[in-house]
Chains A and B, each alone.
Chain A
Amino acid sequence: MSSLQGYVDRHVLLILQDGRAIVGIMAGFDQKSNVVLSESKERVYSMDEGVEEIPLGLYLVKGDMIVLIGEIDEALDKAVDLSTIRAEAIPPIRY
């Protein structure tokens, strides 16, 4: 069974169908993969400047909007200097 139980209370990265990247702590989930994230922030990537982090707070993300949920290795994440990263936004999902 592919369960999200292993991610509860961990730092996760959510990639959404419109290409947005949200990081936060997974507080809960359900069978439809709806997810509650606390201390969430959107990371906006651009080719011209470094990553912008927009604080969002407590969020419920609908499961049908989720592309993937990645467990963030906090040591690795701290090692990355977001202001130096240049990247295009993730493309949206096209059916």
Chain B
Amino acid sequence: MLIFSVFKTLTDQQVTVELKNDLSITGVLKSVDQFLNIRLDNIKVLDEARHPHMMAVKNCFIRGSVVRYVQLPAEHVDTQLLEDATRREALTQVKR
């Protein structure tokens, strides 16, 4: 839930999603779900020349399981808040 909440606060921000097939896609984060599936608008494939496959695609849905990294805008991430939330989430996890 924690990471899901972080992504929800970043909707309408520009992010770059790197997939496990080495494709990198930059776009505006429109929505995210509990599986961390991502909807991006206004996408641009990095290294377009090698990947013309998506020339006609302007927005997409990316399955969470194929994501390797998401580069986030540092100025929109409150690291202190994140760390506090993580400590709290970690406490609730112990009771498994």
Contacts and interface: CB of A to CB of B under 8 A. Distances in A.
Indicate if A touches B (C-beta under 8 A).
yes
Interface string B8-48: 00000000000111110100000111000111000100000
A24 to B, nearest CB: 14
A80 to B, nearest CB: 6
SS class of chain B's interface: helix, strand, loop or mixed? Answer: mixed
A71 B60 contact: yes
B54 interface: yes
Contacts of A92: 21
Interface in A62-88: 63-64, 66-74, 76-77, 79-80, 85, 87-88
Interface of A: 1-4, 7, 13, 15, 17, 19, 21, 33, 43, 45, 63-64, 66-74, 76-77, 79-80, 85, 87-88, 90-95
